[in-house]
Amino acid sequence: MLKIYGVYRSRATRPLWLIEELGLPFEHIPVIQAYRLDDASVDSAPVNTRSPEFLSVNPMGSIPSMDDDGFVLHESLAITLYLARKHGGEIAPKTIEEEAQMVQWSLFAATSVETAALTIQSSSASTDEGKAAIEAAARTLARPFDVLEKHLAEDGFMVGKRFTVADINVAEIVRYARSHAALFDGRPALKAWYDGCVARPAYQAMWAKRNAEPA
């Protein structure tokens, strides 16, 4: 059976959302990040990213990881692309060109969006330092968000003019910047696309499970 290692409050949301879209049976193994625990090494600690049983699955100690009947894979974007390709349907690439485009947009989000977007998510707007960090991150995101706006205004989705795994991968990274409304209000196509992605029943089901986990 397909196994996904990682709590919902992590990048595991990406494959877990895809699994909801595909309706796949799976076993969820909620490995928590060690940094969230007071002492990850004590016997009473839950299974975490430093636990020997998880390090035997992923020596890097990062989540999520996947075990698909013995095929072990790490990195959330790789997992989603693999599962989409394996199970097919509208969410998967239909041609080698679409597959390449899905990889391209996933890597674009990871390299050009994620770091600055995470800064926005993790910085406090109630301090001068936090405000400065958020504004600097927003300036960094202006160019990649303009690229997304132009593309989405023309195509509506990331690839193939339909909802695919590429939309999951990009939306889950764009989400980190969602609290900075100005980045979206001036980009109506990006805002409409993002709002449509997170309104999907599969996303809502995933998000409810995430909210049910301890913060």
User: Domain residues of the chain, as ranges?
Assistant: 2-87, 96-200
Options 3.40.30.10, 3.40.50.620, 3.30.1330.10, 3.90.1170.50; CATH for 2-87 is 3.40.30.10
24-44 residue pLDDT tens? 999 999 999 999 999 999 999
What architecture (CATH level 2) is domain 96-200? Up-down Bundle (1.20)
> What CA–CA distance (Å, rounded) separates 92 from 66?
18
79-111 residue pLDDT tens? 999 999 999 999 999 999 999 999 999 999 999
The pTM of this model reads: 0.97
73-84 residue pLDDT tens? 999 999 999 999
Burial class (CB in 10 A: 0-12, 13-18, 19+), 40: middle
> What CA–CA distance (Å, rounded) separates 204 from 24?
16
Q: Is 74 helix (H, G, I), strand (E, B) or coil?
A: strand
pLDDT of residue 152: 98
184-197 residue pLDDT tens? 999 999 999 999 99
> What CA–CA distance (Å, rounded) separates 213 from 7?
8
